[in-house]
Each structure stands twice: as C-alpha cells, then as structure tokens.
C-alpha cells in the first residue's frame, strides 16, 4: 500500500512505489500552488482603463460553423456578449507580410478551437492577428477551425499597445484579459512570463495555461521541446 492511497499497478516494485509516492507529494504541493496562484491572479486590483475603443475586422463564418453575421468591423466594446464581463484575447503571430503564421501559435489554436464553445459559455474569447482578415480567414479554413472568433488588428494599435508587437513590427504571442465594469473596460491580466527572464533551458511557458500539448508531454519520459517544436504539417 502506498503512502497516500491503496492503489498499486500490475507488477510494480516497492522501489517504484516509493518514488511514485515522493512524486505524488510534489504533485499535491503543485496542485495547492496552482490554486494559490490562481487566487492571487483573481485578487489583482483593477488595471488600466482601455484607452480607445479599437476597431477590428472580424472573420465571421469559417468552415461553415461560426455566425456569419459577425463578419465585418467590430469595436472592442462589442466583443463583450451580454452577461459575460471577462474577455480573453490571444494574439496570434501572423504578420501582414508573413507567408504563413507561427507554427506554435497554430498548434495552440488547433487545441483552443475545440475548447472554444465550452469557454464561450462563460467568458468572451477572441483571437487577434495583424494579418489582413482575408488571410486569417483562409488560414482558419485550411486548419479546419470552426469555433474561434478571429479578428484582424491591421487597422489599429491594439497589438503594440498591449505588448503583442515590438517597435519594429515583430509579432509576439500575448495573452491579455480585460474586464467590463459599470465604470468602463479595464485591463486585468497579461501572461507576463513571456517578458521575464527564463532559467537556462526553460521555455517562457507563459501560455501553458491554454496550451495542453506540453502538459501532455510532461506526463512522459520525453522532455519538453528543447529540440522539438510543433510544425504546420508532419507529412
């Protein structure tokens, strides 16, 4: 019998069980820490008020699934649906002159597309890229995305203002959260691990919360992608 429960697996050794119990102790502490960090995040004071009501181009129907009436220009304030006061925006690395978007962003959005209907039941979720909306729509169709709300920020400064773009126009993978209140729309959170120094050999991991791929790999003996990263295709 183990230290924390009575489950044993076929033909496991006592050495394995002792090591697994030690790992489980760390997993229990990690679970507590995840909850503690989430509580700290929720308790953040109100951030800066939105400086302008940005105008985006929205893709509307992609692969015949989304609401076609959403196609067209959309103000930032219109991204909040009735009864949903939180807005999560993922900034997709797809520059106006890029041949194709970032493979890692594509991997994130491949997963997020399936999750989107569940998320959108409680919150507002959109994806923003700098590329023209026609190219974003075409890429979404190629990938088979059916559920994501896709926007182009090609006509505004949202990316630069919220640290999803450098001064020379390079695109960054940013996650920003906004909150709508009676006093207006306020910035709530940015995944700032991306900008902070990382320990040697570690990735920023700032978007792990919305990207299940690496967590899946972390369950296996293989290490994370020090030499492997997602690709557009594996043919």
- 39 and 60 share a domain? no
Residue 93 lies in a domain: yes
Residue 38 lies in a domain: yes
Interior/surface letters 27-66, b for 16+ CB within 10 angstroms, e for the rest: eeeeeeeeeeeeeeeeeeeeeeebeeebebbbbbebeeeb
- 83 and 144 share a domain? yes
Residue 137 lies in a domain: yes
With 0-12 / 13-18 / 19 or more C-beta atoms within 10 angstroms meaning exposed / middle / buried, residue 170 is exposed
Summarize pLDDT for 119-143 with one digit per residue, the tens: 999 999 999 999 999 999 999 999 9
Segment 103-121 mean pLDDT: 96
With 0-12 / 13-18 / 19 or more C-beta atoms within 10 angstroms meaning exposed / middle / buried, residue 193 is middle
- 178 and 88 share a domain? yes
Residue 4 lies in a domain: yes
- 19 and 125 share a domain? no
How far is the C-alpha of 139 from the C-alpha of 174, rounded, in Å?
19
The number of distinct structural domains making up the chain is 2
Check residue 62 and give its pLDDT. Answer: 64
**First-to-final CA distance of the chain:** 46
Residue 234 lies in a domain: no
Residue 207 lies in a domain: no
Summarize pLDDT for 59-96 with one digit per residue, the tens: 986 655 445 557 899 999 999 999 999 999 999 999 99
Task: Check whether 225 has a pLDDT greater than 80.
Answer: no
SS percent in the chain: helix, strand, coil, step 5: 35, 15, 50
Q: Please, which pLDDT band fits residue 202 given cuts at 50, 70 and 90?
A: confident
Check residue 131 and give its pLDDT. Answer: 98
**pTM to 2 decimals?**
0.91
Residue 120 lies in a domain: yes
With a pLDDT cut of 90, the percent of the chain lying above it is 79
Segment 176-185 mean pLDDT: 97
Check residue 61 and give its pLDDT. Answer: 67
- 27 and 73 share a domain? no
- 16 and 90 share a domain? no
- 65 and 158 share a domain? yes
Q: What is the mean pLDDT of the chain?
A: 92
- What's 145's domain CATH number? 3.40.30.10
- 68 and 184 share a domain? yes
Check residue 66 and give its pLDDT. Answer: 45
- 185 and 112 share a domain? yes
Structural domain including 100 reads 55-190
- 114 and 84 share a domain? yes
- 18 and 123 share a domain? no
Residue 117 lies in a domain: yes
- 94 and 1 share a domain? no
């Amino acid at each position: 019998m183990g230290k924390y429960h009575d489950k044993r697996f076929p033909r496991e050794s006592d050495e394995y069980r002792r090591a697994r119990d030690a790992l489980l102790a760390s997993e229990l502490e990690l679970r507590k820490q995840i909850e503690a960090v989430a509580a700290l995040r929720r308790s953040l004071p109100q951030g800066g008020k939105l400086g302008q009501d940005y105008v985006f181009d929205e893709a509307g129907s992609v692969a015949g699934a989304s609401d076609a009436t959403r196609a067209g220009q959309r103000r930032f304030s219109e991204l909040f649906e009735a009864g949903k006061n939180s807005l999560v925006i993922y900034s997709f690395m797809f520059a106006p002159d890029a041949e194709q978007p970032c493979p890692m962003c594509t991997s994130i959005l491949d997963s997020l597309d399936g999750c989107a209907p569940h998320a959108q039941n409680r919150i507002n979720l959109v994806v923003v890229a700098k590329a023209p909306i026609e190219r974003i729509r075409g890429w979404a169709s190629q990938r088979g995305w059916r559920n994501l709300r896709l926007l182009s920020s090609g006509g505004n400064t949202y990316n630069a203002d919220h640290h999803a773009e450098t001064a020379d126009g390079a695109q960054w993978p940013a996650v920003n959260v906004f909150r709508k209140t009676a006093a207006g729309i306020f910035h709530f959170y940015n995944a700032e691990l991306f900008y902070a120094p990382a320990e040697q050999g570690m990735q920023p991991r700032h978007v792990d919360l919305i990207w299940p791929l690496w967590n899946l790999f972390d369950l296996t003996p293989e290490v994370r992608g020090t030499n492997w990263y997602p690709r557009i295709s594996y043919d």
